[in-house]
Amino acid sequence: MKLADIPVHAAAPADPLDGFRWPTDDFTRTPYRVFTDEAIYQREMERIFRGPVWNYLALEAEVPEPGSYKTVQIGNVPVVVSRNMQGEVTAFVNRCAHRGATVVRQEFGRAEGHACIYHQWNYDSSGDLCGVPYRRGLNGCGGYPKDFKPAEHGLQKLRVALYKGLVFGSFADEPPELLAYLGTNIVTHLDRIFVKPLKVLGYHRQRISANWKLYFENIKDPYHAGLLHTFMATFGVYRSTQKGHTLLSPGGGHAVVYSVTNTDSVESVVEAYQGTDNKYQTDFALQEPGLLQWSPDFHDGIGNLIVSVFPNMVVHQILNTFATRQVRPLGTGAMELYWTYFGFEDDAAERTAARLQQLNLVGPAGYISMEDGEAIRLVQQSITGESRDATSFIEMGGRGPIVDADHVVTEVCTRGLWQQYARTMGFAPEAAA
Ligand code: FES
Ligand SMILES: [Fe+2]
C-alpha cells in the first residue's frame, strides 16, 4: 500500500460528553464529575468564559488614568484591562500576535504602550499594533511580505461594558446587553453599593485546591455561613436566624443573599443551633471589640450582602468591608480567588482605617475565606476518584421551581447556578434546557 492510499479522514472520535445530562430537572443533584473531568473543564473555558457571558474584569478605579493597566485572568486566558490614552477602558488578550509571548508582565502599571520583549512588536494602550522591527527588512534583505498589514495583527480584543465603576468584558461577538444579562435583582443591589467614586484599599490573592465551581456553589449558599463560620454566628455578623433574602437572576446564575443584623433573639438562636455541637457560644467576647464596631454606610440594617454574577464575580459588603472577588480557574482541581478591597473616595481617614482593620475578618487569613477554602478543598479531595454517577444532594429549601426566598435557609441559589451552568454547557435535561 502506498502512503497516498492510506485514508486520512477517519471518523472523528466520539465526544466523551455526548449524552451527558443533568440527572434532575430541578437541579437538586449535581454530578461530581463536573468538578474533576478534563473534557468538561475545556468545554467550560470555551462555552462559558469565552462564550456569551459578561466576565468581571476589574474596577474602573484600578485603571484611573490614561495608560493605567492591570493584568487579570478570564477563564484560562490572560487579559489586560487598559485605559487607553483617549481615556476609554479597553481589554485585550495578553498574548503577542506574533508568536504568542506574554506582552505585559507587570501586574499593574501605567504606560503609553506595550512592547513584547521577544521581537519587540509594539502595541498601543488599546492593544493595536503600532510598530514592527525590520518590517521592510535590512539592506534589502528579509522583512515581511508587502501585504502585511499591522492593523490585522493587533492583540485580540474583548468587548467591554461599564456599570457604576465595574468593568466587564466578553469574548462574544454579540454579547447580551449588560443590564439585561445582570437582571433587576443584581442591578438593584449593585446600585446600593456603588453609589459614589471608589477608593481601592488593597488586595488579597487566595489559592484554593478545589474546582472553581465549588467556590461558586459555596458563595451562593447562605445556609453554610452560620454553621461553618462560627465566629460570624457567635458575634452576630451573620446568622441564619436573622431576617434575610435570597434573590436570583432570571436564568438563575446570579444571586443576591443578604441578612439584616440584630433581627434575631438569643432564644431563637439557641434553639436553632441545638444539635450543632455547641457551635453557638453565648458567653464569648472579643478582647478587641473595635474589630466588629460597625458604623453603617447605608441605613437598611444589612450587615452581610453577597452579590454573585456568573461566571466569575462576587461583590460583598460585610459590615464596613467591601470587596470584589474574581474567580480564576487553574485547572479542574485548583483556582485562585483575587480580592480587591475598596471604600469610597470621600471616606475620612478613620473610616478607611476601620475598613482596613475589619477586612482582616474576611480574606484568606481571616475567619471567613480560609474556612470556605478548606471546606471546598475537602469536597474536592473526597470526590476525586468518585464513580462518574455520584451526585451531591441539594434540597435545603425544597425541590421544584427555582425562585426567590424571603429567608436564608436554602440552597435555591446553588440550584440556580447549576441551571444556568447546565444550559450554557449543553448539559440540561430536555425539560430544563
Ligand atoms: S512573540 Fe512577541 S514579538 Fe515575537
Ligand atoms: Fe462561607
Tens digits of pLDDT across the chain (433 residues): 565 666 666 677 788 898 999 999 999 999 999 999 999 999 999 999 999 999 999 999 999 999 999 999 999 999 999 999 999 999 999 999 999 999 999 999 999 999 999 999 999 999 999 999 999 999 999 999 999 999 999 999 999 999 999 999 999 999 999 999 999 999 999 999 999 999 999 999 999 999 999 999 999 999 898 889 888 888 878 788 889 999 999 999 999 999 998 888 778 877 877 777 666 666 788 888 888 889 999 999 999 999 999 999 999 999 999 999 999 999 999 999 999 999 999 999 999 999 999 998 888 888 889 999 999 999 999 998 867 789 999 999 999 999 999 999 999 999 999 999 999 999 999 877 7
The grid coordinates listed for 185 are: 435583582
The candidate with the shortest Cα–Cα distance to 359, out of 314, 399, 318, 413, is: 318
> Which residues, other chains included, contact 179 with Cβ-Cβ below 8 Å and sequence gap of 6+?
163, 187
Look-up: residue for cell 457571558?
Answer: 53
Global pTM?
0.94
The candidate with the shortest Cα–Cα distance to 410, out of 426, 428, 398, is: 398
123 lines ligand 1 (CB under 6 A): no
Look-up: residue for cell 502599571?
Answer: 109
129 lines ligand 1 (CB under 6 A): no
423 lines ligand 1 (CB under 6 A): no
Looking from the CA of residue 97, the nearest atom of ligand 1 is 2
The candidate with the shortest Cα–Cα distance to 120, out of 134, 109, 107, 108, is: 134
Q: Nearest bound ligand to CA 116?
A: 1
**57 touches 71 (CB < 8 A):** no
Cα dihedral angle (262, 368, 81, 199), rounded to 10 degrees?
50
96 lines ligand 1 (CB under 6 A): yes
Looking from the CA of residue 103, the nearest atom of ligand 1 is 2
Distance 413 CA to ligand 2 centre (A): 14
H/E stretch holding 135 reads: none
Model pLDDT, residue 278: 62
Cα dihedral angle (409, 411, 414, 415), rounded to 10 degrees?
-140
Which amino acid is present at 162?
Answer: L
Distance 376 CA to ligand 2 centre (A): 10
Model pLDDT, residue 6: 62
Model pLDDT, residue 198: 98
Model pLDDT, residue 13: 74
